[in-house]
Amino acid sequence: MRRLPDPVRILLISGSTRSGSTNSAALRTAHAASVEGVETELYDRLAGLPVFNPDDDFDPLPPAVIELRERISAADGVLFCTPEYAGALPGSFKNLLDWTVGGPEMYEKPVAWVNVATEGRGGHADASLRTVLGYLHSEIVEPAQRRITVPRDAVGEDGLVVAANISSDLEQVLRAFADHVRGEATPS
């Protein structure tokens, strides 16, 4: 059993490197939300990670990899939001996940993801992410899983999602995630 986390710290990782990304906007909006008992942190170093190579997975590790692993370890859970590219995960995002294979960081780590694609799209990304997280032995927080469509024109100039109903749906995700993490923990 984990310690009782208060606040519950959730690391937000977008699978998109696109500047006007709807996935990144959703996570930025979640980060800007104020949800009692939840502290979020945005990870925005995806494009700075080196290409995974098992030969490089030894000390001294690349600094960007050390940082990624430390930030995952320090979080009580990870919330992803990723587009689908060619029926799977974007290569850069899969690269990030590959850097966590076999390590302790993602093992039994509570994880969830929000799919911001329009209905009927992005399903292969969901399936692919579920498969990869299964290999990592992460714990998928089913009550926090959501499809919250974010159209491109819903992203404002400040990079946040302008629609209030989307922000409130994202807040519900954070609340459901945190409730689940707290429900599993024991007071220390």
Residues 6+ apart with CB under 8 A from 125: 15, 82, 83, 84, 85, 88, 89, 115, 117
Q: Any contact of residue 22 with ligand FMN (CB under 6 A)?
A: yes
Structure-block tokens of residue 90: 């974007």
Q: Any contact of residue 47 with ligand FMN (CB under 6 A)?
A: no
Minimum CB distance to ligand FMN smaller for 63 or for 87: 87
Minimum CB distance to ligand FMN smaller for 61 or for 163: 163
Minimum Å gap between C-beta 117 and ligand FMN is 5
Minimum CB distance to ligand FMN smaller for 46 or for 117: 117
Binding-site member from 11, 117, 144, 161 for ligand FMN (CB under 6 A): 117
Binding-site member from 5, 11, 16, 112 for ligand FMN (CB under 6 A): 16
Q: Any contact of residue 83 with ligand FMN (CB under 6 A)?
A: yes
- Looking at residue 156, what DSSP letter applies? -
Cα 122 to Cα 82, 127, 148: the distances in Å are 9, 9, 12
Between CA 130 and CA 138 the distance in angstroms is 9
Binding-site member from 121, 130, 147, 182 for ligand FMN (CB under 6 A): 121
Q: Any contact of residue 98 with ligand FMN (CB under 6 A)?
A: no
What residue type is assigned to position 7 of the chain? P
Which residues bind to ligand FMN, rule: CB under 6 A? 16, 18, 21-23, 83-87, 117, 121-122
